[in-house]
Structure 1
Amino acid sequence: MEFAIENTWDSNPVDHDPIRIVFSDGKAGLKMEVFGPFFNDPAAPPVEPGLSFPGLWNYEVVESFFLDSTTENYLEVELCPHGQHLILLLSGVHHAFMQQLPMMFTTTTTGDTWKGEALIPWSYFPPNVNKMNSYAIHGSGEERTYEALFAVPKEDLVEGQQPDFHRLEYFKNFRLQSIMGEDWVQPESDLWKGKA
């Protein structure tokens, strides 16, 4: 299953080749591959590749969110072309109850493009995922650019509005079974116990 991030958060077309995200069966979890331009702006986070880094959203990053809209439980996965990652488990908008979980993630950079490959363990996903959205951020200062797979429609924008990737009402329908097969049953996870 492949997606391309072709718009900014406020529904303008991006001015570069779109970042592509591919989801597939990783057996022990969901495989997430990212392909896209490497802006190298801002500079790399101050930790080595392969490690989790809090506040990764302040750097160059691609993010995917997986939501159970009936409970507002959702998983946020952030991937940086420099090799760092960040996982957040949220119960309620902006309310992270667990973060910096470990994950297998590797990147390769070739000139001005990069590829990342992550394996997101099934235990990180909330039960009953039914919606998702993905985002990309790059640039510094006035050049900071926020992009969204499912952007805020022009008619919903209000003056002075800032990008907020936790606007769950703009997420679109998504089922893990559409990747894993209709008979697939999501493994239960102790991480989400009591978060109904």
Structure 2
Amino acid sequence: MELRIEHTWDGLPVSHDPVTIALKSYEAGLLVQVSAPFFNDPPAPLGAPGKPFRNLWDYEVVEAFFLSGGSEQYLEVELCPHGQHLLLLLSGRRRVWKEELPLEFDVTRTESTWKGSARLPWNYFPPGVNKFNAFAIHGSGERRRYEALYPVPRHKLQEGQKPDFHRLDFFQELNLKQLMGEDWKQPESDIWKTQTN
């Protein structure tokens, strides 16, 4: 399954080659592969590549959100072209209850593009994932750009509205059985069993 981020968060066409995100199955979970332009703006975070980095959304990043629509529980995955990552588990809109989980994440980069590959174990996914959205952020100051796979529809924009990637109402259906096979059932998560509202 390959998805292309072709619009800004508010529905305008992007002005560069779109970021692509491929979702694929692997033995223990979901493989997320990113192919994107490399802007190198802002500069790299100071954290070590391969490690979680707090507030990664302040840098150049591609994000994937996996939502259980009925419960508003979701997994937020942030991937940086410099090799850092951030995983957040949220129960309710913007309500983080677990963060900085470890991740197998590899990056290759040229002067103008980057590719990332992240292996997400099923243990990180909330029960009943059925919705998805993805985002890309780059640039500094006035040049900061926010892009969305499923943007806010133009007719729903309000004056003065700012980018908000936690608008769960604009996420779209994700049928993991298309990737995993019709008989597949999402494995239970020991991590999510420990979550209490």
Q: What is the TM-score normalised by the length of structure 2?
A: 0.97
Question: 1:41 is matched with which residue?
Answer: 41
Q: 5+ residue gaps in structure 1?
A: none
**Any idea what SS the aligned residue of 1:105 has?**
strand
How far, CA to CA, are the matches of 1:37 and 1:73 in structure 2? 30
Which residue matches 1:140?
140
- Does 2:85 correspond to 1:72? no
Question: What count of residue pairs does the alignment treat as equivalent?
Answer: 196
Q: Contact 1:73/1:195 (CA < 8 Å) preserved in 2?
A: no
What amino acid maps onto 1:35 in structure 2?
S
Q: Give the whole-Å Cα distance in 2 for the aligned partners of 1:56 and 1:69.
A: 25
Distance 1:122 1:157 in 2: 35
Residue pairs, 1:34-113, within 5 angstroms = 34-113=34-113
How far does residue 111 in structure 1 lie from its aligned partner after superposition?
Answer: 2.0
What's the % identity of the aligned pairs?
Answer: 59
Q: 1:73-112: CA deviations, max 9, x gaps?
A: 0000000000000000000000000000000001000120
Question: Aligned-pair distance for 1:195?
Answer: 4.7
Alignment partners' CA distance in 2, 1:89 and 1:79: 15
Counterpart Cα distance in 1 of 2:45 and 2:141: 16
Code of the residue aligned with 2:36 in structure 1: it is G
Q: Deviations over 1:20-74 (max 9, x none)?
A: 0000012111000000100000001101110000100000000000001110000
Matched, 1:190 2:177: no
Change (3 A) 1:195 1:68: farther
Gaps (5+ residues) in structure 2? none
- Root-mean-square deviation (CA, aligned residues, Å) is 0.9
The residue aligned with 1:22 is 22
Residues 157-184 of structure 1: per-residue CA shift (max 9 Å, x gap):
0110000000000000002211111111
**How far apart, CA to CA, are the structure 1 residues paired with 2:133 and 2:147?**
11
1:163-178 matches, cutoff 5 A: 163-178=163-178
Please state whether the residue corresponding to 1:185 is helix, strand or coil: coil
Stretches (4+) displaced over 4 A: none
SS in 2 for 1:40: coil
Indicate the residue corresponding to 1:155 in structure 2: 155
Q: CA deviation at 1:186?
A: 1.3
Q: 1:105 to 1:174 in 2, by over 3 A?
A: same
